[in-house]
Structure 1
Protein backbone atom coordinates (compact mmCIF):
# COMPACT_ATOMS: atom_id res chain seq x y z
CA UNK A 1 0.00 0.00 0.00
CA UNK A 2 1.34 3.41 -0.98
CA UNK A 3 0.70 6.24 1.48
CA UNK A 4 0.86 9.85 0.34
CA UNK A 5 0.95 12.65 2.90
CA UNK A 6 0.03 16.16 1.84
CA UNK A 7 -1.07 19.46 3.35
CA UNK A 8 -4.64 19.44 4.66
CA UNK A 9 -6.38 21.68 2.14
CA UNK A 10 -9.64 19.77 1.58
CA UNK A 11 -12.19 20.51 4.31
CA UNK A 12 -14.22 17.36 3.69
CA UNK A 13 -11.11 15.22 4.19
CA UNK A 14 -10.32 17.07 7.43
CA UNK A 15 -13.94 16.50 8.48
CA UNK A 16 -13.54 12.78 7.78
CA UNK A 17 -10.62 12.63 10.20
CA UNK A 18 -11.72 15.11 12.87
CA UNK A 19 -15.45 15.68 12.61
CA UNK A 20 -18.17 13.93 14.59
CA UNK A 21 -20.34 11.12 13.28
CA UNK A 22 -23.34 13.20 14.37
CA UNK A 23 -23.22 16.92 13.45
CA UNK A 24 -24.70 17.96 16.81
CA UNK A 25 -21.85 16.31 18.77
CA UNK A 26 -19.08 18.19 20.51
CA UNK A 27 -15.73 16.79 19.41
CA UNK A 28 -12.25 18.24 19.54
CA UNK A 29 -11.70 18.96 15.80
CA UNK A 30 -8.04 19.26 16.93
CA UNK A 31 -8.72 22.74 18.28
CA UNK A 32 -7.87 22.25 21.96
CA UNK A 33 -4.19 23.14 21.49
CA UNK A 34 -4.66 25.38 18.45
CA UNK A 35 -6.94 28.08 19.90
CA UNK A 36 -7.04 29.89 23.24
CA UNK A 37 -8.83 27.94 25.95
CA UNK A 38 -11.70 30.44 26.16
CA UNK A 39 -12.39 30.09 22.43
CA UNK A 40 -12.13 26.31 22.62
CA UNK A 41 -14.66 26.16 25.48
CA UNK A 42 -17.11 28.52 23.73
CA UNK A 43 -17.19 26.62 20.42
CA UNK A 44 -19.99 24.06 20.31
CA UNK A 45 -21.20 21.45 17.84
CA UNK A 46 -21.26 22.67 14.22
CA UNK A 47 -19.44 25.89 15.17
CA UNK A 48 -16.29 23.86 15.82
CA UNK A 49 -16.17 22.57 12.24
CA UNK A 50 -16.93 26.04 10.87
CA UNK A 51 -14.04 27.42 12.92
CA UNK A 52 -11.72 24.84 11.36
CA UNK A 53 -13.02 25.79 7.90
CA UNK A 54 -12.08 29.43 8.66
CA UNK A 55 -8.64 28.41 9.95
CA UNK A 56 -8.07 26.52 6.70
CA UNK A 57 -8.50 29.77 4.77
CA UNK A 58 -5.34 30.96 6.54
CA UNK A 59 -3.42 27.83 5.54
CA UNK A 60 -3.35 24.08 6.16
CA UNK A 61 -3.90 23.22 9.85
CA UNK A 62 -1.95 20.00 9.41
CA UNK A 63 -1.37 17.14 7.01
CA UNK A 64 -3.48 14.23 5.80
CA UNK A 65 -2.41 10.73 4.79
CA UNK A 66 -4.05 9.08 1.79
CA UNK A 67 -4.15 5.47 0.61
CA UNK A 68 -5.14 6.09 -2.99
CA UNK A 69 -8.10 8.49 -2.82
CA UNK A 70 -9.07 7.51 0.73
CA UNK A 71 -8.03 9.73 3.63
CA UNK A 72 -6.59 7.47 6.35
CA UNK A 73 -4.71 9.74 8.73
CA UNK A 74 -4.20 13.21 10.19
CA UNK A 75 -1.40 15.09 11.93
CA UNK A 76 -1.80 18.58 13.41
CA UNK A 77 1.23 20.81 12.96
CA UNK A 78 1.55 24.57 13.26
CA UNK A 79 3.98 27.20 14.57
CA UNK A 80 4.17 26.82 18.36
CA UNK A 81 3.72 30.59 18.78
CA UNK A 82 0.14 30.23 17.46
CA UNK A 83 -0.80 27.37 19.80
CA UNK A 84 -1.51 27.00 23.49
CA UNK A 85 1.96 25.43 23.83
CA UNK A 86 3.27 29.00 23.60
CA UNK A 87 1.81 29.74 27.03
CA UNK A 88 1.70 26.30 28.63
CA UNK A 89 2.81 26.07 32.25
CA UNK A 90 3.22 22.29 32.02
CA UNK A 91 5.17 21.95 28.76
CA UNK A 92 8.29 24.12 28.92
CA UNK A 93 9.97 26.11 26.20
CA UNK A 94 13.42 24.72 25.59
CA UNK A 95 14.76 27.93 24.07
CA UNK A 96 13.66 30.86 21.91
CA UNK A 97 13.76 28.97 18.61
CA UNK A 98 10.52 29.44 16.61
CA UNK A 99 9.76 25.72 16.59
CA UNK A 100 6.60 24.22 15.14
CA UNK A 101 4.43 21.97 17.31
CA UNK A 102 3.23 18.53 16.21
CA UNK A 103 0.56 17.56 18.73
CA UNK A 104 -1.87 15.10 17.22
CA UNK A 105 -1.41 12.00 15.08
CA UNK A 106 -4.55 10.03 14.21
CA UNK A 107 -5.06 6.99 11.99
CA UNK A 108 -8.54 5.85 11.01
CA UNK A 109 -9.80 2.57 12.41
CA UNK A 110 -9.20 -0.23 9.95
CA UNK A 111 -5.89 1.32 8.89
CA UNK A 112 -3.96 1.15 12.17
CA UNK A 113 -0.87 -1.00 12.58
CA UNK A 114 0.28 -0.34 9.00
CA UNK A 115 2.90 2.35 9.68
CA UNK A 116 0.66 5.26 8.68
CA UNK A 117 1.53 7.22 11.85
CA UNK A 118 5.18 7.13 10.81
CA UNK A 119 4.25 8.47 7.37
CA UNK A 120 2.24 11.23 9.05
CA UNK A 121 5.14 12.31 11.26
CA UNK A 122 7.50 12.39 8.28
CA UNK A 123 4.95 14.29 6.20
CA UNK A 124 4.29 16.80 8.98
CA UNK A 125 8.01 17.43 9.35
CA UNK A 126 8.38 17.93 5.59
CA UNK A 127 5.43 20.33 5.59
CA UNK A 128 7.02 22.37 8.40
CA UNK A 129 10.40 22.31 6.63
CA UNK A 130 8.78 23.60 3.41
CA UNK A 131 7.21 26.43 5.44
CA UNK A 132 10.62 27.43 6.85
CA UNK A 133 10.37 25.93 10.33
CA UNK A 134 13.76 25.67 12.04
CA UNK A 135 12.61 22.74 14.21
CA UNK A 136 9.60 20.60 15.03
CA UNK A 137 8.60 19.71 18.57
CA UNK A 138 6.26 16.98 19.76
CA UNK A 139 4.95 16.27 23.26
CA UNK A 140 4.36 12.51 23.39
CA UNK A 141 3.96 10.22 26.37
CA UNK A 142 7.01 8.41 27.69
CA UNK A 143 5.24 5.09 28.19
CA UNK A 144 8.31 2.80 28.22
CA UNK A 145 6.51 0.39 25.90
CA UNK A 146 3.35 0.07 28.02
CA UNK A 147 -0.02 0.14 26.27
CA UNK A 148 -1.59 3.59 25.84
CA UNK A 149 -5.37 3.91 25.74
CA UNK A 150 -6.42 4.64 22.13
CA UNK A 151 -8.39 7.73 23.17
CA UNK A 152 -5.17 9.23 24.54
CA UNK A 153 -2.74 7.85 21.94
CA UNK A 154 -3.11 10.91 19.68
CA UNK A 155 -0.01 12.54 21.23
CA UNK A 156 2.17 9.61 20.17
CA UNK A 157 4.89 7.89 22.12
CA UNK A 158 8.49 8.79 22.78
CA UNK A 159 9.64 5.70 20.84
CA UNK A 160 7.55 6.68 17.82
CA UNK A 161 9.22 10.09 17.63
CA UNK A 162 12.69 8.68 18.32
CA UNK A 163 12.22 6.41 15.29
CA UNK A 164 11.56 9.58 13.26
CA UNK A 165 14.83 11.17 14.43
CA UNK A 166 13.48 13.34 17.25
CA UNK A 167 15.47 13.66 20.47
CA UNK A 168 14.17 14.19 23.99
CA UNK A 169 15.07 17.73 25.02
CA UNK A 170 13.02 18.26 28.19
CA UNK A 171 10.73 16.73 30.75
CA UNK A 172 7.31 18.25 31.41
CA UNK A 173 4.87 18.29 34.30
CA UNK A 174 2.11 17.14 31.94
CA UNK A 175 0.71 13.64 32.40
CA UNK A 176 -1.63 11.89 29.97
CA UNK A 177 -3.22 8.48 30.55
CA UNK A 178 -0.95 8.08 33.59
CA UNK A 179 2.24 8.60 31.58
CA UNK A 180 4.56 11.59 31.73
CA UNK A 181 4.87 13.66 28.57
CA UNK A 182 8.24 14.77 27.25
CA UNK A 183 9.39 17.40 24.78
CA UNK A 184 10.90 15.82 21.67
CA UNK A 185 12.59 17.93 19.02
CA UNK A 186 13.89 17.52 15.50
CA UNK A 187 16.10 20.39 14.25
CA UNK A 188 15.56 21.19 10.59
CA UNK A 189 18.23 23.84 10.07
Structure 2
Protein backbone atom coordinates (compact mmCIF):
# COMPACT_ATOMS: atom_id res chain seq x y z
CA UNK A 1 0.00 0.00 0.00
CA UNK A 2 1.30 3.45 -0.96
CA UNK A 3 -0.22 6.31 1.01
CA UNK A 4 -0.33 9.76 -0.56
CA UNK A 5 -1.16 12.83 1.54
CA UNK A 6 -2.87 15.75 -0.21
CA UNK A 7 -4.54 18.99 0.87
CA UNK A 8 -8.11 18.36 2.09
CA UNK A 9 -9.94 20.26 -0.63
CA UNK A 10 -12.59 17.83 -1.94
CA UNK A 11 -15.86 17.93 0.01
CA UNK A 12 -16.84 14.29 -0.57
CA UNK A 13 -13.41 13.12 0.60
CA UNK A 14 -13.56 15.28 3.74
CA UNK A 15 -17.09 14.00 4.36
CA UNK A 16 -15.88 10.40 4.11
CA UNK A 17 -13.55 10.97 7.06
CA UNK A 18 -15.35 13.44 9.33
CA UNK A 19 -18.95 13.51 8.09
CA UNK A 20 -21.92 11.47 9.29
CA UNK A 21 -23.15 8.11 8.11
CA UNK A 22 -26.68 9.55 8.14
CA UNK A 23 -27.44 13.01 6.69
CA UNK A 24 -29.48 14.06 9.73
CA UNK A 25 -26.74 13.18 12.27
CA UNK A 26 -25.00 16.05 14.05
CA UNK A 27 -21.43 14.74 14.10
CA UNK A 28 -18.38 16.91 14.71
CA UNK A 29 -17.23 17.48 11.10
CA UNK A 30 -14.01 18.56 12.88
CA UNK A 31 -15.50 21.99 13.55
CA UNK A 32 -15.10 22.03 17.34
CA UNK A 33 -11.76 23.85 17.36
CA UNK A 34 -12.22 25.63 14.04
CA UNK A 35 -15.18 27.86 14.93
CA UNK A 36 -16.59 29.51 18.08
CA UNK A 37 -18.47 27.15 20.41
CA UNK A 38 -21.77 29.04 20.09
CA UNK A 39 -21.73 28.70 16.31
CA UNK A 40 -20.62 25.06 16.50
CA UNK A 41 -23.25 24.09 19.08
CA UNK A 42 -26.09 25.83 17.21
CA UNK A 43 -25.65 23.84 13.97
CA UNK A 44 -27.48 20.56 13.44
CA UNK A 45 -27.59 17.81 10.81
CA UNK A 46 -27.03 18.86 7.21
CA UNK A 47 -26.29 22.43 8.27
CA UNK A 48 -22.88 21.27 9.53
CA UNK A 49 -21.90 19.72 6.19
CA UNK A 50 -23.07 22.82 4.33
CA UNK A 51 -20.87 24.92 6.62
CA UNK A 52 -17.84 22.73 5.83
CA UNK A 53 -18.58 22.96 2.10
CA UNK A 54 -18.64 26.76 2.41
CA UNK A 55 -15.30 26.72 4.31
CA UNK A 56 -13.75 24.62 1.55
CA UNK A 57 -14.53 27.39 -0.94
CA UNK A 58 -11.72 29.36 0.76
CA UNK A 59 -9.23 26.49 0.51
CA UNK A 60 -8.22 23.18 2.13
CA UNK A 61 -9.04 22.47 5.77
CA UNK A 62 -6.00 20.30 6.42
CA UNK A 63 -4.74 17.14 4.75
CA UNK A 64 -6.14 13.78 3.71
CA UNK A 65 -4.32 10.48 3.31
CA UNK A 66 -5.28 8.40 0.28
CA UNK A 67 -4.81 4.73 -0.54
CA UNK A 68 -5.04 5.04 -4.33
CA UNK A 69 -8.02 7.40 -4.64
CA UNK A 70 -9.76 6.28 -1.44
CA UNK A 71 -9.49 8.74 1.47
CA UNK A 72 -8.35 6.80 4.55
CA UNK A 73 -7.06 9.49 6.95
CA UNK A 74 -7.62 13.10 7.98
CA UNK A 75 -5.61 15.76 9.80
CA UNK A 76 -7.07 19.18 10.62
CA UNK A 77 -4.42 21.88 10.09
CA UNK A 78 -4.78 25.67 10.15
CA UNK A 79 -3.14 28.80 11.52
CA UNK A 80 -3.64 28.79 15.30
CA UNK A 81 -5.03 32.33 15.05
CA UNK A 82 -7.91 30.93 12.95
CA UNK A 83 -8.90 28.35 15.59
CA UNK A 84 -10.27 28.39 19.11
CA UNK A 85 -6.77 27.50 20.31
CA UNK A 86 -6.02 31.20 19.86
CA UNK A 87 -8.17 31.84 22.96
CA UNK A 88 -7.86 28.52 24.76
CA UNK A 89 -6.88 29.07 28.41
CA UNK A 90 -5.82 25.45 28.97
CA UNK A 91 -3.28 25.30 26.14
CA UNK A 92 -0.66 28.03 26.58
CA UNK A 93 0.92 30.32 24.03
CA UNK A 94 4.68 29.93 24.39
CA UNK A 95 5.63 32.91 22.23
CA UNK A 96 4.23 35.31 19.64
CA UNK A 97 5.11 33.28 16.54
CA UNK A 98 2.17 32.94 14.13
CA UNK A 99 2.22 29.14 14.47
CA UNK A 100 -0.15 26.71 12.82
CA UNK A 101 -1.95 23.92 14.70
CA UNK A 102 -2.70 20.30 13.92
CA UNK A 103 -5.42 19.13 16.29
CA UNK A 104 -7.25 16.15 14.85
CA UNK A 105 -5.84 12.95 13.39
CA UNK A 106 -8.38 10.40 12.20
CA UNK A 107 -7.80 7.10 10.43
CA UNK A 108 -10.66 5.08 8.99
CA UNK A 109 -11.45 1.80 10.72
CA UNK A 110 -9.89 -1.05 8.77
CA UNK A 111 -6.83 1.08 7.99
CA UNK A 112 -5.46 1.58 11.49
CA UNK A 113 -2.05 0.21 12.37
CA UNK A 114 -0.73 0.84 8.85
CA UNK A 115 1.29 3.99 9.57
CA UNK A 116 -1.35 6.36 8.23
CA UNK A 117 -1.29 8.65 11.27
CA UNK A 118 2.47 9.03 10.79
CA UNK A 119 1.93 9.93 7.12
CA UNK A 120 -0.74 12.45 8.14
CA UNK A 121 1.61 14.14 10.61
CA UNK A 122 4.32 14.40 7.93
CA UNK A 123 1.69 15.73 5.52
CA UNK A 124 0.57 18.31 8.09
CA UNK A 125 4.19 19.49 8.43
CA UNK A 126 4.52 19.87 4.65
CA UNK A 127 1.16 21.64 4.38
CA UNK A 128 2.00 24.14 7.15
CA UNK A 129 5.43 24.76 5.63
CA UNK A 130 3.87 25.40 2.20
CA UNK A 131 1.47 27.85 3.90
CA UNK A 132 4.39 29.83 5.32
CA UNK A 133 4.06 28.76 8.95
CA UNK A 134 7.19 29.28 11.08
CA UNK A 135 6.22 26.30 13.27
CA UNK A 136 3.52 23.67 13.63
CA UNK A 137 2.03 22.91 17.03
CA UNK A 138 0.14 19.84 18.20
CA UNK A 139 -1.68 19.15 21.47
CA UNK A 140 -1.59 15.36 21.73
CA UNK A 141 -2.35 13.03 24.62
CA UNK A 142 0.57 12.09 26.85
CA UNK A 143 -0.84 8.64 27.53
CA UNK A 144 2.44 7.09 28.74
CA UNK A 145 1.68 3.92 26.79
CA UNK A 146 -1.81 3.45 28.30
CA UNK A 147 -4.65 2.41 26.01
CA UNK A 148 -6.70 5.29 24.62
CA UNK A 149 -10.28 5.05 23.40
CA UNK A 150 -10.18 5.43 19.58
CA UNK A 151 -12.86 8.11 19.61
CA UNK A 152 -10.85 10.26 22.02
CA UNK A 153 -7.50 9.60 20.35
CA UNK A 154 -8.29 12.26 17.73
CA UNK A 155 -5.79 14.64 19.37
CA UNK A 156 -3.01 12.20 18.51
CA UNK A 157 -0.45 10.58 20.79
CA UNK A 158 2.73 12.20 22.03
CA UNK A 159 4.89 9.30 20.82
CA UNK A 160 3.65 9.68 17.24
CA UNK A 161 4.51 13.37 17.20
CA UNK A 162 7.92 12.68 18.78
CA UNK A 163 8.59 10.12 16.04
CA UNK A 164 7.93 12.88 13.48
CA UNK A 165 10.42 15.25 15.13
CA UNK A 166 8.10 17.35 17.28
CA UNK A 167 9.52 18.41 20.63
CA UNK A 168 7.73 18.91 23.94
CA UNK A 169 7.46 22.65 24.59
CA UNK A 170 4.99 22.94 27.47
CA UNK A 171 2.56 21.08 29.64
CA UNK A 172 -1.08 22.12 29.49
CA UNK A 173 -4.00 21.96 31.90
CA UNK A 174 -6.11 20.25 29.22
CA UNK A 175 -7.10 16.64 29.87
CA UNK A 176 -8.80 14.40 27.32
CA UNK A 177 -10.15 10.94 28.13
CA UNK A 178 -8.23 10.98 31.43
CA UNK A 179 -4.88 11.77 29.80
CA UNK A 180 -3.02 15.08 29.97
CA UNK A 181 -2.38 16.94 26.74
CA UNK A 182 1.02 18.44 26.02
CA UNK A 183 2.05 21.22 23.66
CA UNK A 184 4.51 19.98 21.07
CA UNK A 185 6.14 21.92 18.28
CA UNK A 186 7.89 21.28 14.99
CA UNK A 187 9.98 24.25 13.88
CA UNK A 188 9.71 24.86 10.15
CA UNK A 189 12.27 26.47 7.90
CA UNK A 190 13.07 26.65 4.22
CA UNK A 191 15.46 23.67 4.30
CA UNK A 192 12.60 21.12 4.33
CA UNK A 193 13.66 19.20 7.48
Matched position secondary structure for 1:142:
coil
Matched, 1:88 2:88: yes
Match of 2:162 in 1: 162
- Displacement of 1:9 in angstroms is 1.1
Name the CA distance, whole Å, in 2 between partners of 1:150 and 1:65.
Answer: 18
Matched position secondary structure for 2:9:
coil
Match of 2:142 in 1: 142
- Displacement of 1:104 in angstroms is 0.3
- CA shift digits 1:75-125 (9 cap, x unpaired): 000000000000001111011000000000000000000000000000011
- The runs of 4+ residues in structure 1 deviating greater than 3 Å are none
Matched, 1:21 2:18: no
- Displacement of 1:31 in angstroms is 0.1
Match of 1:175 in 2: 175
Name the CA distance, whole Å, in 2 between partners of 1:133 and 1:44.
Answer: 33
- CA shift digits 1:54-84 (9 cap, x unpaired): 1111110010000001110000000000000
Match of 1:113 in 2: 113
Structure 2: runs of 5+ lacking an equivalent: none
Name the CA distance, whole Å, in 2 between partners of 1:172 and 1:183.
Answer: 7
Name the CA distance, whole Å, in 2 between partners of 1:3 and 1:150.
Answer: 21
Name the CA distance, whole Å, in 2 between partners of 1:106 and 1:114.
Answer: 13
Name the CA distance, whole Å, in 2 between partners of 1:64 and 1:129.
Answer: 16
Match of 1:153 in 2: 153
RMSD: 0.5
- TM-score, with normalisation over the residues of structure 2? 0.97
Name the CA distance, whole Å, in 2 between partners of 1:65 and 1:157.
Answer: 18
- Displacement of 1:22 in angstroms is 0.6
- TM-score, with normalisation over the residues of structure 1? 0.99
Match of 1:100 in 2: 100
Match of 1:32 in 2: 32
Matched position secondary structure for 1:58:
coil
Match of 1:75 in 2: 75
Match of 2:3 in 1: 3
- Displacement of 1:146 in angstroms is 0.6
